[in-house]
Amino acid sequence: MEKLKNIIHKEETVISISGLYKSFENLEVLKGIDFNLFRGENVAVLGKSGSGKSVLIKIIVGLLKPDKGDVVILGKQIAHLHGKELDALRLHIGFSFQNSALYDSMTVYQNLAFPLLMNMKNMSKKEVDNAVHEVLDAVGLKDKNKQMPSDLSGGQRKRIGIARTLILKPKIMLYDEPTAGLDPITSAEIIDLINEVQEKYNTSSVIITHDLTCAKNTANRIAMLHKGKFIKIGNFEEVFAADTDNEHLKGFFNYNFIQ
């Protein structure tokens, strides 16, 4: 696994979240989240299943509306955006879904070309072809463009899912459980890919995961989410310091270590 080599621009915040609350009926999922992501930075949000990690990134991308709080992406309050303004912002955000969410009635090529054809109407066929082949090359799956998603392995689907977000050249990447359900070797390949994407496309990333190996190797900072709140934010060593007295952090570390 290659180590992350990125330059963080602390003077430029790309995601700023303050006082974020979200609940579903009586279930409070997020209870006051404060968080900043700087340009060029990778932050891993760690937490158990049901701790609100996926809800957090769905709010960031505007798929869910917060009950309370401010979410500012690239200087724009996402809750105030609608229609074309929201779509324009979304072109700068890449979202890699946990289950890849590839369009299963389309080939790999069509999956990748679709966001371009829908958003960049003036692109020629050759330009679309070039863009598709460039991202396929970036994720190391040059020869798969004619295959259907059902013919791909889990790891290949994740790669194509990431390629589909890269085709719009986003400034921010959101990864929802990028290594979930993958074997250790494929997980390591995806971790390398996340770092390569960061280097090549200069993205800032939020990586939602419960895999400590993934978090350690892809993130500059780790934010530990527990019961809807960040209980610790810092680099890996700070968060999982040997003298930590937080039972939850200890348990999470030991579980991953044993695994």
Q: Which is nearer to other proteins, 98 or 244 (CB)?
A: 98
| Contacting residue, 35, 38, 97, 230, with other proteins by CB under 8 A | 97
Question: What token pair was written down for 189?
Answer: 């390949």
| Contacting residue, 104, 143, 243, 247, with other proteins by CB under 8 A | 104
61 binding other proteins? (CB under 8 A): yes
Q: Which is nearer to other proteins, 1 or 168 (CB)?
A: 168
93 binding other proteins? (CB under 8 A): yes
114 binding other proteins? (CB under 8 A): yes
CB of 87 to other proteins, least distance (A): 4
| Contacting residue, 18, 88, 151, 234, with other proteins by CB under 8 A | 88
> CB count, 10 Å around CB of 50?
12
User: How many residues form the binding site for other proteins (CB under 8 A)?
Assistant: 27
213-232: contacts with other proteins (CB under 8 A): none
Q: Which is nearer to other proteins, 162 or 239 (CB)?
A: 162
157-186: contacts with other proteins (CB under 8 A): 164-165, 168
CB of 29 to other proteins, least distance (A): 16
Residues 6 or more apart in contact with residue 131 via CB below 8 angstroms: 112, 113, 116, 123, 167
Angle of helix 125-138 relative to helix 154-166, nearest 10 degrees, comes to 130
> CB count, 10 Å around CB of 177?
21
State the Cα–Cα distance between residues 185 and 153, nearest whole angstrom.
13
Q: Using CB atoms within 10 A of its CB, is residue 13 exposed (0-12), middle (13-18) or buried (19+)? A: middle
125 binding other proteins? (CB under 8 A): no
| Contacting residue, 32, 115, 140, 154, with other proteins by CB under 8 A | 115
Binding mask 16-55 for other proteins (x = CB under 8 A): ---------xx-----------------------------
Task: Mark the segment that binds other proteins (CB under 8 A) among 82-90, 181-189, 193-201, 223-231.
Answer: 82-90
State the Cα–Cα distance between residues 20 and 184, nearest whole angstrom.
34
Residues 6 or more apart in contact with residue 160 via CB below 8 angstroms: 100, 102, 108, 111, 112, 139, 141, 144, 149, 152
CB of 145 to other proteins, least distance (A): 18
Q: Angle 145-149-155 (CA atoms, 0-180°, nearest 5)? A: 90
Residues 6 or more apart in contact with residue 142 via CB below 8 angstroms: 133, 136
Residues 6 or more apart in contact with residue 258 via CB below 8 angstroms: none
Q: Which is nearer to other proteins, 62 or 232 (CB)?
A: 62
Residue 89, classed as helix, strand or coil, is helix
Q: Using CB under 8 A as the criterion, which residues of the chain lie in contact with other proteins when the complex forms? A: 25-26, 58, 61-63, 87-88, 90-91, 93, 95, 97-99, 101-104, 114-115, 118-119, 121, 164-165, 168
